Amino acid sequence: MDVHEAIRTRRSIRTYLDRPVSRDHLLQLIEAACWAPSASNLQTWRFVILTRPDKLRALRVLAPGFIGRAPSAIVICQDAKEIARRAGQAAVDFCANMDSACAAQNIMLEAHALGLGTCAVGSFEADALRELLDLPTHVLPMLLVAVGYPRSRPEPPQRHIEGSYYFEGYHE
């Protein structure tokens, strides 16, 4: 699928077929994520892939936005100790956020080209998620991405392009 088309036809998918995603496809999404840029090329992302029904059930409880019974999820985490060691403590928040989101966008576009649907979810009970994933304290869960075959593809919400940009300086 053309990148131009992929960017414009990707949708956040909120209902999924009861059909598993293959391990090969999941690993292809991880590979796409790893090709995202990262601050100072740190590559401090860590991905936890969930496919077990009991784990996904627990995820639905602690992340109310994780809906539609996706058969798999990728939890994008960041190794805060590694960021701090290589870029300084002050860089942790910025790098963890920005690098996770760039990786997520690659996952979502690659998935779309594979016929998969995704939905990024940023709201969750962090402590419960840490426990579910056995995360050590220095590995921060940043973003969940639901992954599965779409049951339906919603129409695109309207995009507000006019009025979102300015040349040479901001003016209202």
Residues found near its own copies in the complex (CB under 8 A): 1-4, 6-8, 10, 12, 27, 30-32, 34-37, 39, 41, 43, 45-52, 55, 77, 94, 97-102, 104-106, 108-110, 112-113, 120, 122, 132-136, 139, 143, 157, 159-161, 164-172
Residue type, 39: A
Min dist CB 112 to its own copies, Å, is 8
Min dist CB 46 to its own copies, Å, is 6
Min dist CB 144 to its own copies, Å, is 12
Min dist CB 18 to its own copies, Å, is 20
Q: Which is nearer to its own copies, 3 or 24 (CB)?
A: 3
91 is written with which tokens? 């860089």
Q: Supply the DSSP symbol for 40.
A: G
d(CA 90, CA 95): 9
Give backbone dihedrals phi and psi of 63, rounded to 5 degrees, phi first. Answer: -135, 90
Q: Which is nearer to its own copies, 18 or 169 (CB)?
A: 169
Q: Are 80 and 142 in contact (CB under 8 A)?
A: no
Half-sphere exposure of 133 (CA within 13 A, CB side): 27
